[in-house]
Amino acid sequence: MGRASSPSPVRTITNGKSISTTNSTPPRSTQNAAPGVAMIEICPLADLPAGEAKRVLVPPHPPIAVFHTEDGAVYALDDTCTHQDASLADGWVEDCRVECPLHASTFDLRTGGVDQPPAKVGVRAHAVTVQDGTIYVELSDETPNLPPGVSYGASA
């Protein structure tokens, strides 16, 4: 499985689920989202190379992991493994799954479903849109599944 690394040029994607970036500046919210749904401008697609993942902080929500697969699809999941507090953006991606770097649980990039223990519940998947070369994520309104002892603003 490939490990996430630094940005470089990539091709444009038109569909997928979830996107984020490890930018220290919080992403901007947009007015294009449906009422009550947070649509966040993440980064230019060119800043997330194929085969890479990034962690994005979106306070008060849990961090998001954005994945750009080798086949060009872009996905976004909650970044925190549900088994223990580990960043999925630091994991390995293969066959549309990410493996947690801590204890090897795997999660489906399309659905957030858990494919392999020790995690027992999945993570939220977020809708991703790429428009005019920019990645946008629509945050899920589902309750996040966080590991014991971990909480973030709105989910605390």
Q: In whole angstroms, what is the distance from residue 65 CA to residue 141 CA?
A: 16
- pTM of the predicted model as reported, rounded to 2 decimal places: 0.75
Domains (ranges, CATH) in the chain?
2-143 (2.102.10.10)
Q: In whole angstroms, what is the distance from residue 126 CA to residue 113 CA?
A: 12
* Per-residue model confidence as pLDDT tens digits over 131-151: 999 999 999 999 999 888 787
Among the residue ranges 6-20, 55-69, 84-98, the one predicted with the least confidence is 6-20
Q: Which residues, at least 6 apart from 101, have a Cβ–Cβ distance to it below 8 Å?
A: 86, 87, 90, 91, 92
Q: Give the pLDDT band (50/70/90) at residue 86.
A: very high
Q: What is the pLDDT of residue 147?
A: 86
